[in-house]
Amino acid sequence: ATQPVKRKLEDLSSEWKAVNRLLQELRAKQPDLAPGLTTIGASPTQTVTLVTQPVVTKETAISKLEMPSSLMLEATMQDLEQRRPQLEELITAAQNLKNKTSNQEARTIITDRIERIQNQWDEVQEHLQNRRQQLNEMLKDSTQWLEAKEEAEQVLGQARAKLESWKEGPYTVDAIQKKITETKQLAKDLRQWQTNVDVANDLALKLLRDYSADDTRKVHMITENI
């Protein structure tokens, strides 16, 4: 799930660098057009690159109630929002340069770059917002699954304890008759308890299906043990 976000962030960083290179090249050719342009070049490119790190370092581990990826995602969105003035500054510089040059080819290139970097920025924001929503839904689903898993483990533990108790004597007629009665009751209870196990398994399948791009190894392991 992080891969589309990673690609969008990389595209944005690449486009940012391309716009900076274009402005620097045009300034080198026509230094009178934008004398203060050198102050824009390095910092925004570096910060956009750094902003990619929290989102793409690792996938989310399903079933963990603590959600480090969600926290990192929030930090990334805040960082991007803080960089918006730099984006606007870069676009303004490009727009001013476009207005001052009479070279039609240069104007066309600048227009294309402005549109592309704006689109890239908007796409990154959209992907991050979608990922945040997915993480919130993942947290809700994981919580429900853990609760259902605990209930299933409780009823299975009761059944195992009952079976273990039957291994002990005595083996009198009355004791055997009592075990037969308890066996029938246990079979009845198991049919009722099966609902708890089915709920846990259904929620596990939902996690495995809906969040296949994230780390679902713990869900696999626990479900197999149940």
- pLDDT at residue 39, rounded to an integer: 38
The first and second tokens of residue 83, run together, are 């960089």
Q: Can you tell me the distance from the alpha carbon of 124 to that of 11, in angstroms, rounded to the nearest whole number?
A: 9
pLDDT tens-digit series, residues 67-103: 555 666 677 777 777 778 878 888 888 888 788 778 8
> pLDDT (tens digit, 9 = 90+) per residue, 148-187?
778 778 878 887 887 787 777 677 778 778 878 888 887 8
Length of the chain as a residue count: 226
Q: How far, rounded to the nearest angstrom, does the alpha carbon of residue 3 sit from its chain's CA centroid?
A: 9
Closest listed residue to residue 37, CA positions, set 56, 23, 53, 47? 23
For residue 61, the cross-strand partners are 215
2-139 domain in CATH 1.20.58?
Answer: yes
Residue 65 binned pLDDT confidence (cut-offs 50, 70, 90):
very low
pLDDT value of position 56: 40
pLDDT mean over 201-206:
78
Please report the DSSP string for 88-157 in residue order: HHHHHHHHHHHHH---HHHHHHHHHHHHHHHHHHHHHHHHHHHHHHHHHHHHHHHHHHHHHHHHHHHHHH
**Domain parsing of the chain, residue ranges:** 2-139, 140-225
Q: 3-class DSSP state for residue 164?
A: helix
Asked if residues 129 and 203 have their Cβ atoms less than 8 Å apart, the reply is no
Which one is predicted more confidently, 5 or 128? 128
Quick check: 143 pLDDT over 70?
yes
Rg (the chain; Cα; Å): 30
pLDDT tens-digit series, residues 11-58: 667 776 777 676 666 556 555 544 444 433 433 444 344 344 444 433
